[in-house]
């Protein structure tokens, strides 16, 4: 568990209050950070804060301002901003319960783990968790934290609860403008059956460890190659895929070929055959002919 909670307070439903602590459930993945460098000297570029007509200034001379019209600002000190308080700042009031499928995936933003603050809160915490699980509902409320007010959802997750911040309605673009041009046609039954078979043949349990950031890996490889090459320019060969051209494909043939290929790859017979190494050149030739 993290040493410091993102938020501490209480979840309240009517007259029931449950002291809790909230911790981020995610962290930043591997990233490659670049600096801007002055090529002739090889030195890092730095930036100064400059006022037009005045020149460089000190950081302690900077305050925040809201531009209410062109070049006209309302100036605010940080203590004035900090003094803005929201009602029930330390309370998450659950005001509504909805079915999980009623919340579009586009609204979900960031997850947090919710844990009971102490042993006394644990019983009420467990009751809330199991009540949400049995009713298959998600709790909704608003949470004020770090100068922002969030719409949040609360739902069971294993032995605990997960809180997810949600986007407001004006933060989500409506899909109609993007999907209007798609024809409202019923798919060919045979094509649909083939597509379902392909999906079933590739169905597996979710394991996120099987996926990794290929771009970061490629950048690390490039950096290491360039370091060993003493700074010489290195351009990787890029596979752009199939050349652009006729986009009309035989969907039926493509689906059948995909299913056939997948079935051959997954068959136990082929797995056993692949495990056996050919002993002679003649066996290798026969294997190539069978393929």
CA distance 253 to 264: 16
The pLDDT of residue 102 is 92
Using CB atoms within 10 A of its CB, is residue 7 exposed (0-12), middle (13-18) or buried (19+)? buried
Phi, psi of 250 (to 5 degrees): -85, 95
Q: Are 18 and 128 in contact (CB under 8 A)?
A: yes
CA dihedral (100, 101, 102, 105) positive or negative:
positive
CA distance 56 to 49: 6
The pLDDT of residue 282 is 47
- The pLDDT tens digits for 92-144 are 989 999 998 899 999 999 999 999 999 999 999 999 999 999 999 999 999 88
CA 51 to chain centre: 39
pTM of the model: 0.64
In the chain, what are the domains? 7-26+84-171 (2.40.290.10), 189-238+249-290 (no CATH)
Token pair in block for residue 248: 């009309």
pLDDT (tens place) for every residue of the chain, 291 residues total = 556 888 999 999 888 899 999 999 988 777 788 888 888 898 999 888 899 899 888 888 898 999 989 989 898 888 887 777 665 578 898 999 999 889 999 999 999 999 999 999 999 999 999 999 999 999 999 988 877 889 999 999 999 999 999 999 999 988 877 888 888 888 888 888 888 888 888 888 877 777 777 777 777 888 888 788 777 777 766 555 554 444 446 777 877 777 777 776 665 555 455 455 444 444 444 444 443
CA distance 201 to 266: 9
The pLDDT of residue 236 is 64
The pLDDT of residue 269 is 55
The pLDDT of residue 240 is 53
Q: ∠ CA 49-55-59 to the nearest 5 degrees?
A: 35
């Amino acid at each position: 568990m993290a040493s410091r909670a993102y938020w501490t307070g209480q979840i309240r439903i009517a007259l029931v209050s449950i002291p809790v602590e909230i911790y981020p459930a995610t962290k930043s993945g591997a990233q490659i950070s670049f600096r801007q460098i002055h090529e002739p000297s090889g030195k890092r570029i730095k930036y100064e804060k400059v006022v037009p007509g005045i020149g460089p200034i000190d950081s302690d001379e900077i305050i925040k301002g809201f531009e209410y019209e062109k070049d006209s600002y309302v100036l605010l000190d940080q203590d004035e901003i900090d003094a803005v308080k929201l009602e029930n700042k330390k309370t998450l009031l659950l005001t509504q319960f909805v079915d999980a499928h009623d919340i579009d995936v586009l609204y979900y933003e960031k997850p947090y783990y919710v844990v009971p603050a102490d042993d006394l809160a644990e019983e009420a915490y467990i009751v809330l968790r199991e009540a949400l699980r049995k009713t298959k509902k998600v709790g909704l409320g608003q949470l004020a934290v770090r100068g922002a007010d969030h719409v949040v959802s609360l739902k069971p997750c294993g032995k605990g609860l997960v809180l997810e911040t949600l986007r407001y309605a004006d933060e989500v673009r409506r899909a109609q403008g993007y999907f209007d041009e798609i024809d409202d046609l019923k798919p060919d039954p045979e094509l649909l059956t083939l597509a379902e078979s392909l999906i079933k043949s590739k169905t597996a349990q979710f394991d996120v460890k099987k996926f990794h950031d290929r771009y970061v890996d490629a950048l690390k490889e490039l950096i290491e190659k360039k370091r060993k090459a003493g700074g010489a320019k290195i351009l990787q060969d890029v596979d752009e895929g199939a050349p652009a051209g006729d986009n009309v494909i035989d969907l039926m043939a493509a689906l059948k070929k995909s299913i056939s290929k997948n079935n051959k790859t997954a068959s136990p017979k082929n797995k056993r055959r692949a495990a056996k190494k050919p002993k002679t050149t003649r066996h290798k030739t026969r294997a190539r002919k069978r393929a």
